[in-house]
Structure 1
Amino acid sequence: MELTKNLTQTKIIKSLLAVILGSIALTISAKIKIPFYPVPMTMQTFVVIFLGVSLGYKIGLASVGLYLLEGIAGLPVFSNSPEKGIGIVYFTGPTMGYLIGFLTACYLASKINTKDSFIIILTKLVIATSTIYILGLIWLGTLIGWDKPIFSLGAKPFLLAELFKIIILALAAKQIIKIRNII
């Protein structure tokens, strides 16, 4: 009985640590801008997908959820905060749909398994990442008006960088899952 209790406590502590570290990784990825064509990229979407693949949907979603709650609470965790505002004001701005899309992308990325072929993994990652952009574009269009070039403003400049990140993760996904299963 005592051994079961200790194992459960250890598992809870490891899970909480993973959630906190995931949120920290997401914050760091939001702050680093990497020169890329046609616009600089952050590694946020890479980390969101990585969290889903590496931690599974429960811990991955908890990490992303904690990150979003930190930002809503006013911590400067989002990409352009505090420069462009903090808290709920920033969250409900033009990027809200993308931020909510982090949750769907993380969940969908967690559905990759070691039996999937490279093409299946690549397809799942494209679909997962697409949900970020679909929700982002829907919110952006609602916020600034559908008469604006929504796709050109909110997706097109980032697609080459997204493809680059997806390919890297697709190549590493099976190894990441194997490591997750050992730990």
Structure 2
Amino acid sequence: MALALNDKVLTEVYGPSTGTALRIKQVAMVVLGIAVLAIAAKIKVPVPGSPVAMNMGTFAVLTIGAAYGPRLGLTTILGYMIVGMLGFDIFQSSTADLNGINYMMGSTGGYLVGYVLATLALGFAARAGWDRSMGKMALAMLLGNVIIYLPGVAWLGVLYGFDQPILQWGLTPFLIGDALKLALAALLLPAIWKLVGDARK
């Protein structure tokens, strides 16, 4: 049975819904989303034995995807990637010396690809109404994490060799932290919808 993808997402509940005012709101949301992604990426905790640090980036990516929907969410994450590609220090471990394309082709490159795909997936899940249920939101967040990790770990294998402990570097150290972030996001979005009530109807 096909999913119905016609539910409103959170960013569509408030503010203008047509015309120039809508476009201004959307531009503001994209700029805000890019700023949130940049800040979340810099909230990081080094993980011993792994070339990839733990951060709040996945939480921000999945939450923005669900709150913005597929189109605005994809625009936001692509905007974030373009700003980073231009050399601005907005990625997890980018610096004044290591940034732009060179950084994006490094050990976190696969996760950045996963960010784009996961944002789109969470946007479609929200459009199907999954963001109103804790159970469905938790499932969507879990799927989003899987989508991030698949290209992330695969790219580590390409860079360092699949005979290396790439799961120990890029997956297992982050599972507990991601489970906590997943639970937080799964509680947050349905709770906001509960506050919104029938405003979307």
TM-score range, shorter-chain basis?
0.7 to 0.9
Count of matched residue positions in the alignment of Structure 1 and Structure 2: 178
Structure 1 segments of 4+ aligned residues over 3 angstroms from their partners:
34-41, 114-117, 175-179
Q: Are 1:152 and 2:168 counterparts?
A: yes
Tell me, yes or no, if the aligned pair for 1:20 and 1:63 is still in contact at 8 Å.
yes
Residue deviations 1:78-125 (CA, integer Å, cap 9, x gap): 011116611100001111110010011111222132586432221111
RMSD: 2.7
Q: Are 1:93 and 2:106 counterparts?
A: yes
- Structure-1 residue corresponding to 2:157: 141
Unaligned runs of 5+ in 2: 1-16
Rounded Cα–Cα distance in structure 2 between residues aligned with 1:28 and 1:128: 20
TM-score normalized by structure 1? 0.86
Tell me, yes or no, if the aligned pair for 1:53 and 1:176 is still in contact at 8 Å.
no
Structure 2 residue corresponding to 1:46, chosen from 59, 65, 89:
59
Rounded Cα–Cα distance in structure 2 between residues aligned with 1:86 and 1:74: 5
**Cα displacement (A) at 1:57:** 1.3
Tell me, yes or no, if the aligned pair for 1:76 and 1:86 is still in contact at 8 Å.
yes
TM-score normalized by structure 2? 0.79
- Structure-1 residue corresponding to 2:21: 10
Residue deviations 1:62-93 (CA, integer Å, cap 9, x gap): 11111111111111110111166111000011
**Identity between Structure 1 and Structure 2 (%):** 32
- Structure-1 residue corresponding to 2:3: none
Amino acid at match of 1:29: A
Tell me, yes or no, if the aligned pair for 1:53 and 1:177 is still in contact at 8 Å.
no
Name whichever of 107-116 and 149-158 sits farther off: 107-116
